[in-house]
Structure 1
Amino acid sequence: MLQIAGTAELVTLILMLANMLTVHAPAISQVLGPLQGLAYMATVITAILVRGDRHIVWVLSLIPGIGGLLAPAPPPPSNSIGTSSTRTCSSACAGGGISRSTAWSRRARAVREASDGRDASVSSSNPLRRLGIWLAQRND
């Protein structure tokens, strides 16, 4: 997706510059200017969405014209583990062998119980803080 947005941005920039260097038709400039701006913003937004934990992807996408093509593509998903709903958590789930959906539902239930006052050891009013405290206690 990032390569497509980057290619569209580069093509619109080349067409806009070619128009300026040759005939400089105002009608073409009125169409290509906003189109190139839209393609640039689409490239930056796409880079932010697909970057994962690599900040270099969206930083490179800020370079006008070629940034979307310079940004490294995200690694392909590994099919050897399975789908995201059936993958097992090794670090987050105690004992392993528990699906992610089961682990997250257990965490959500623990946060709900903590907010109901059933677990006195988790006393923060912020739900994210309670989740962090609960996860820290669980890893101990």
Structure 2
Amino acid sequence: MQRGLKYICRQRLDYVDRFTSDELLHLVELMKLRGAVESEYLREFINGIIRETYLRIRLMDLLSLPDISLSAPDAKPLEEVVEALEEMCKHYEEHLAEVRKLRESAKTPLELELVAAVEKSLERSHIAVRMLINALTERR
């Protein structure tokens, strides 16, 4: 049984590597295409495809990471949880400020795309944590 599981895991990693390699090639071609297109509308359309491609690459990277144990030894009081979430929000705000500086200093279209993807992800996480804080504190 253990041997079969190792085989399946190795197969999955091989697929992840192949998929990521193909997606990186697609990303390069899309970047070239975006540079060759004169229409602003088409460039924006291609930008959307680039973002989705990049997101798939990053998501597939997660499959190659070991599982993260989410079990907590002891439950914390709600106040401590909310304080920890508030601290996370502060960090997100700091990171967003730094990422915006990176966006302003991006030298290539690819750098700009990557920084924009990180910025959007941070914004989504920040909003989600804020919503969670609101939901947790609303019940008090």
TM-score by length of 2: 0.30
Higher relative contact order (CA 8 A, sep 6+): 2
* Higher helix residue share: 2
TM-score by length of 1: 0.30
